[in-house]
Structure 1
Amino acid sequence: MLSPKFAEELKKTILDNMTFDPSHYGGRWGQINDHGTSHLSIIDHEQNAISMTTTVNSYFGAQMLSSSTGIILNNEMDDFSIPGKVSTGSPPAPANFIRPGKRPLSSMTPTIVLKDEKLKAVVGASGGAMIIPGTAEVFLNHFARGMDPLSSVLAPRFYHQLYPNVVSYENWTTVIGDHFELPAQIRKSLQKKGHVLEPLAGGSICQFIVIEALKKNGGSQEFVAVSDPRKGGFPAGF
């Protein structure tokens, strides 16, 4: 995932004006769909940074609670692929089959952003297979599109897992009344390129902290923290 050479090969498969069948992009294996994940992003006054994603893997994990610690045990073994078990229309990945000493596949994407070896941001998300695109979209909104941190998190998101060959886009109202919907012009543009669209009442939940320079204050810096309102979150500072 960190190889520039591999990224260049992937780039060659992407055209701006049309989309293709999943096989064109090299997808061969089914994806794991997990739940029960939480993420937090932290920066302290000395700019030590933490981006931590944790999961019990499904709702209430293994549904077992330790009597001595009170901790709910996870169901992380379910994140391994199982031969013959097809969940997304494509076969399970052999590289993710159960073997001694292995860790199962995970979508967790805790991210610390540096520029010139200096801390710029901390970002991450919960949301199963939607964690990777959710984190990437927030990152690109701010660092590529120039959006402020709050707008970067508030912007409606869309997801494509390759299998099924569908673009899922946000169109839902949260329990606190906030509405998130991908703009009609973007949906129309995606359809024009051949994408099949499907509304989604949910998605990733992102936590984002950015260090911004204050030009009018002698070059000092401030922390701007955003906790995704999709789940009623709010940042805390001390």
Structure 2
Amino acid sequence: MKSKEEFQFSNSVVLVPIFFVLLIWLVFWIEIRFGLDFTKFGIYPQTLRGLRGVLFSPFIHSGITHLYHNTIPLFVLTAAIFYFYKPIAWKILFYGILLSGFITWSIGRPSYHIGVSGLIYVLVSFTFFKGIFAKHYRLIALSLLVVFLYGSMIWYVLPIKEGVSWEGHTAGLVTGMLFAIIFKKEIARPKKYVWEEEGFKEDEDPFLKHFDENGNFVEHSEPEPEPEIDDEKEIRHTIRYTFKPRDKSLD
């Protein structure tokens, strides 16, 4: 963004989401191709070894269905973050992975927690609350769109489905809300009109002076300016010529 009032498209809006998506698919392909299982690199709560999963777990998935369900939301939400919040986009991604992962490690059940869904909940939560706090029509519209697309995800912060890390989802939801508050100064604000600027005086505006305090049009009759007098012209106009009769004696 050139300023806090403008949103600008850049290559990172597309390239970063594509890179992130390709990376998690590459990790899954390596597992399938070489018969590996990276689940042990996930978050295992309240163990020292399990802390490594804070960094690695977003790139590990249990199967093709798990990976597919996370791919589209990850791409869409990451692109939205880099378009609307480019100055803080990397902070949201990096610190979102760390903080949501650490909260999951602190409150999770004794099991391996894997998948990028924790980060997805960070992005959903941040985008929603940020738009509400901003009071910017574009960001509010983005918040409503996120609710429309991913509002049903709220149910998965509760332990309603076996085998789903609701702790990771809850951690992501809380992290996104905290970031929306912490980065409040980075909120884009709508462009102000001239009459909204500080120090603006209505009586000096050439347009507003034609309206009274109730919004009614008032016609102002301004005195016509006095014509400028050119001294030289005035002198020429006052010159008088005197003609004498011709003296015939001179013929």
TM-score, normalisation: structure 2:
0.24
Q: Which has the larger radius of gyration?
A: 2
Larger strand share, 1 or 2:
1
Larger helix share, 1 or 2:
2
